[in-house]
Amino acid sequence: MFYNFKDIEKKWQSYWYEQKLFKTQEDRLKEKFYVLDMFPYPSASGLHVGHLEGYTATDITSRFKRMQGYNVLHPMGWDAFGLPAEQYALSTGKDPREFTYQNIVHFKKQIIESGKGIDWDREFATADSNYFKWTQWIFKKMYEHGLAVLKDVEVNWCEGLGTVLANDEIELIDGRMVSERGNYPVVKKAMRQWVLRITAYADRLLEDLEELDWPEYLKEMQRNWIGKSNGAMMTFSVDESDESFEVFTTRPDTIYGATYCVLAPEHPLILKVTTEDELSEVKKYIDATKQKNDMDRAMDKSKTGVFSGSYAINPLNHKRVPIWIADYVLPHYGTGAVMAVPAHDERDFEFAQIHGLDIVEVVQSDAEGAFTGDGKHFNSGIIDGLFNEAAKAKIIDYLEKTKQGYAHNTYKLRDWVFSRQRYWGEPFPVIYDEDDNIYILEDDELPLELPKLKNIRPSGTGESPLANAHDWLHVDYKGIKGRRDTNTMPQLAGSSWYFIGYILKHHLGMIPLDTEEAKKLLDKWLPVDLYVGGTEHAVGHLLYSRFWTKFLHDIGLLSVVEPFKKLFNQGMILGSDHSKMSKSKGNGVNPDEIFESHGADALRLYEMFMGPLDADKPWSEEGLNGAKKFLERVWRLFDFPIEQDEVQELRQSYHQTVKKVTEDYEKLAFNTAISQMMIFVNDVYKLQTIGKDQARGLLKLLNPICPHLTEEINQSILKQNEELIYSEWPTYDERYLIQDEVEIVVQVNGKLRARFTAKTDMDPESAKKMALEIPNVSKHVEGLTIRKIVHIPNKLVNIVAN
């Protein structure tokens, strides 16, 4: 028979979609399983084969779990707001809403054509008003609980894009900060912004990582991003001045080795402590720092800095130490000021060497350079002879008693700057009166929708294009003349709770988040059982989603405190040249073309067979052709006679295959599951026959990966009325996994001389006797004295002779 994949795949895709066969039922008798993809941003370029790698993996799992009897939820939606759409709109003159929703149509078509089984009744875009109504509502609740605050903060301002950018939207090129999108200059600027106080959840975000089934490297990335440090806060007074400043240190025990202090260029005390002679250089240095972002400042090995001209007083030994200004100290870590101990801090050591500053050892060691380990203290007054931990405790106790300091923790984590000066995003449900008093819209006034604007270019005033929407902007509200907030929320707002939105979405709309009905559904389905996506969201999206989940738990809407139980990062599919796929390199692969030339099943099979799911793998046309040939081989297999009874010679191979594939699907080890199915197919070809139950079992095992081919064979050839997607997963019998015969290796003095086949668990004496009777073995022991014979059951006979 000819395998007409084009007609077969279209037939089944239409059937699944029209019959809503993947619609999730609220079945209380079945255990739930929630499988989630990191939803795509619907760009004009459409999906690429890299998207489909992760999407296929989750689809395999959802189909597998459904056949195992779970009640599966597997939804899909669209991360529709954000800067990329707005920039595209500005460059083309198109309306961002119009072309975003056009792109969604194309994306959805591609996902359907990939064979992915989705409950489309739960589909939504973050730009849908019945969805972002609740994004605005969550913001409102955060405001009411003191977690959304308006304050002046230093931000990354991009004039070319007319908006604030997050650190991960910025690149450093030739020492200058530029936007990742468009390479526009970026500078530091103080602006009044909405900020979400994620720092209030820092400890919980750290502690709860321990309970998650996530890759350890990803958990470590979050730990580092949060960056909790235990230590002490202490006060340094400025010599010949009434001024003082606080420093945070994780090593208060090294206070006697502090030989200088450093203030961040943004520190409010700088101009007060800078002397007349140093003022010009200090101002130049501050201006230069504004061109750098925090990450580059922290990683910069050059350790630049300028002397302020003033001195501070060490609170323990009362020595004068110079006050320097350097950009390796960040304004928001600790206090923006550090005591520098170059003998026991690598960063301080490098700076001291470059600028010729004193280096005083206070912890004994034989190390060259900065010694940061544990050791006995000397030159250290009240802590001489103590090791690190005891010394820290004694110093903190002394600081607290003398009111010069106290025990303290700090975090690298910053509060989330939540305002964007753009049009295409969720508007803030906020009105200001003439005295800048804040009014938050009532629940029944949500959603606040965007006005239609012909001109969505940045205003040039630091406000978003919404400043041009006069009729929308100015309102009479509760008897006062008000003005709406012209900022919009960042793209990450909508993606911080979309996994909740799927649970509440149905074909008629969205179940209100603040209802008992919603609570029952959320308690049932959360947390997500499997979340698959790329590593690019390791801190931003994942951290913010965890933060929002904990907040919604705290106000009684969720029972869970973590959104994603198991997280898996798939690797990247590279171009055939082993580099990242991109338009500029011309090494990208369009899945639409593969659907046409090879079929969706072949693409799914190939991408899962390329290698481990979490590895980076190069694209290969030869490998894709091989996948298509295997499917044709499976198709032809059903030309063989199909016996009503089990084919005995296939029994062991079949049960081994069921066991291996089941275990590998659980581990997302799809490449090795496919290898095992190939072995079984080869065994069938050797015999040219297969039993009916064995044939249907093979189809069930292969169905999650290749659903179109298997459903067609099941219906058209095996004449089964029950779709495979709702059939019962095959089981294996342990009795048939035991091998009847094994191959035994025979060695003489450790060298391979022969092999023979024997019954499993043959008794040792019989195995030794059979080994000695083999001609090539007897030849190599002739004339020698056999000292001993080593027998390893079912594996080896080694004859030791001399």
Structural domains in the chain plus CATH codes: 137-199+415-491 (no CATH), 229-410 (3.90.740.10), 591-736 (1.10.730.10), 739-801 (3.10.20.590)
229-238 and 405-410 strand pairing:
antiparallel
pLDDT on residue 752: 94
Distances (CA, A) of 14 to 48, 102, 109, 141, 536: 22, 21, 11, 43, 34
pLDDT on residue 460: 65
83-131 per-position pLDDT tens digit: 888 888 888 888 999 999 999 999 999 999 999 999 999 999 999 999 9
337-359 per-position pLDDT tens digit: 999 999 999 999 999 999 999 99
Residue 166 has pLDDT above 80, yes or no: no
How far apart CA 768 and CA 598 sit, in angstroms, is 54
Secondary structure of 31-82 as H, E, C letters: CEEEEEECCCCCCCCCCCHHHHHHHHHHHHHHHHHHHCCCEEECCCCECCCC
Per-residue burial over 714-738, b = 16 or more CB atoms within 10 Å of its CB, e = otherwise: bbeeeebeebbbebebbebeeebee
Residue linked to tokens 């900065």? 370
How far apart CA 53 and CA 617 sit, in angstroms, is 11
Angle of helix 129-144 relative to helix 540-554, nearest 10 degrees, comes to 70
The predicted model gives 9-35 an average pLDDT of: 94
Residue linked to tokens 């799992």? 61
Secondary structure of 510-541 as H, E, C letters: ECCCCCHHHHHHHHHHCCECEEEECHHHCCHH
CA angle 631–636–642, rounded 5-degree value: 120
Q: Please report, in range form, the residues annotated as the binding site.
A: 583
Task: Tell me the pLDDT band of 758, cut-offs 50, 70 and 90.
Answer: confident
Q: Please report, in range form, the residues annotated as the binding site for ATP.
A: 583
Task: Tell me the pLDDT band of 575, cut-offs 50, 70 and 90.
Answer: confident
Residue 175 has pLDDT above 80, yes or no: no
699-750 per-position pLDDT tens digit: 999 999 999 999 999 999 999 989 999 999 999 998 888 777 788 999 999 9
Give the amino acid at 676. Q
| Residue pair 319/239 in contact by the 8 Å Cβ criterion | no
Residue 499 has pLDDT above 80, yes or no: yes
525-554 per-position pLDDT tens digit: 999 999 999 888 778 899 999 999 999 999
| Region label for 531, one of left (φ > 0), alpha (ψ between -120 and 50) or beta (otherwise) | beta
For the chain, the residue count is: 802
Per-residue burial over 228-245, b = 16 or more CB atoms within 10 Å of its CB, e = otherwise: beebbbbbbbbeeeeeeb
| Residue pair 621/589 in contact by the 8 Å Cβ criterion | no
Residue 585 has pLDDT above 90, yes or no: no
Q: Which residue did the predictor score with more confidence, 793 or 174?
A: 793
- 647 CB contacts (<8 Å, ≥6 apart)? 687, 689, 690, 691, 694
Residue 698 has pLDDT above 80, yes or no: yes
Task: Tell me the pLDDT band of 8, cut-offs 50, 70 and 90.
Answer: very high
pLDDT on residue 458: 75
State the chain's mean pLDDT as an integer: 93
For residue 132, which phi and psi values (nearest 5 degrees)? -75, -10
For residue 146, the Cα-to-chain-centroid distance in whole angstroms is 28
The predicted model gives 167-195 an average pLDDT of: 83
| Residue pair 118/78 in contact by the 8 Å Cβ criterion | no
For residue 202, the Cα-to-chain-centroid distance in whole angstroms is 18
118-152 per-position pLDDT tens digit: 999 999 999 999 999 999 999 999 999 999 999 98
Nearest of 98, 45, 6, 1 to residue 602 by alpha carbon:
6
- How is 578-639 classified by DSSP, letter by letter? SSB--TTTT----HHHHHHHT-HHHHHHHHHHSS-TTS-EE--HHHHHHHHHHHHHHHHHTT
- 3-state secondary structure at position 178: strand
564: DSSP letter: B
pLDDT on residue 342: 97
Task: Tell me the pLDDT band of 46, cut-offs 50, 70 and 90.
Answer: confident
Percent of the chain with pLDDT over 90: 79
User: What own/partner pairs with CB < 8 Å and gap ≥ 24 does 264-267 have?
Assistant: 264/325, 264/326, 264/327, 264/329, 264/330, 264/331, 264/336, 264/337, 265/289, 265/325, 265/326, 265/327, 265/331, 266/154, 266/331, 266/336, 267/325, 267/331, 267/336, 267/337
pLDDT on residue 251: 96
Residue 15, number of CB atoms within 10 A of its CB: 13
Task: Tell me the pLDDT band of 154, cut-offs 50, 70 and 90.
Answer: confident
**CA gyration radius, the chain:** 34
For residue 577, which phi and psi values (nearest 5 degrees)? -90, 10
Burial of residue 380 (number of CB atoms within 10 Å: 0-12, 13-18, 19+): buried
How far apart CA 127 and CA 744 sit, in angstroms, is 66
Residue 173, number of CB atoms within 10 A of its CB: 8
